[in-house]
Amino acid sequence: MTYYVCGNYYFDDITANAQSHAWIWTEDKTIIDITGDQFKNNSIFLNYAVSVYIGQKDEFHKLFKVENRRDVHENLGLDALSSICLPRLRELYQKIKKYIMI
């Protein structure tokens, strides 16, 4: 079983001033993140430039606050999401398949 995780980095005490980031967790809390490199030009996020990360929680992922009840959901697959998201997510899924065996 896998889980969709969405964490938030808060720039200040105002919750509207935050940056979110999402990844997949496996049951043993291994992270599968295919979008970390979007932060490569931002020192606040450690200039994280890893385009595909598979491993345990590292310093970059520790920056994002994850509240288990609100931010962690069972991954029900692409078909459970809205049709607006599907084209982009299918593209990302193909990217994941290059790095893991399914």
Is residue 80 helix, strand or coil? helix
pLDDT digits (tens, 9 = 90+) for 56-83: 999 999 999 998 777 888 877 766 666 6
In a domain, 24, yes or no: yes
User: Does residue 84 belong to any structural domain of this protein?
Assistant: no
Q: Let me know if residue 98 belongs to a domain.
A: no
Both tokens assigned to 88: 């982009």
Residue 32 lies in a domain: yes
Tally the domains of the chain. 1
pLDDT at 89: 75
94 in any annotated domain: no
Is residue 27 domain-resident? yes
Q: Report pLDDT digits (tens) over 5-51.
A: 999 999 987 667 899 999 999 989 899 998 999 999 999 999 999 99
Question: Is 25 a member of any domain?
Answer: yes
In 3D, which of 64, 51, 85 has the Cα closest to residue 22?
A: 64
48 inside domain: yes
**C-alpha 46: how far from chain center:** 16
Per the structure, the complete domain to which residue 19 belongs is given by: 2-76
Check residue 80 and give its pLDDT.
66
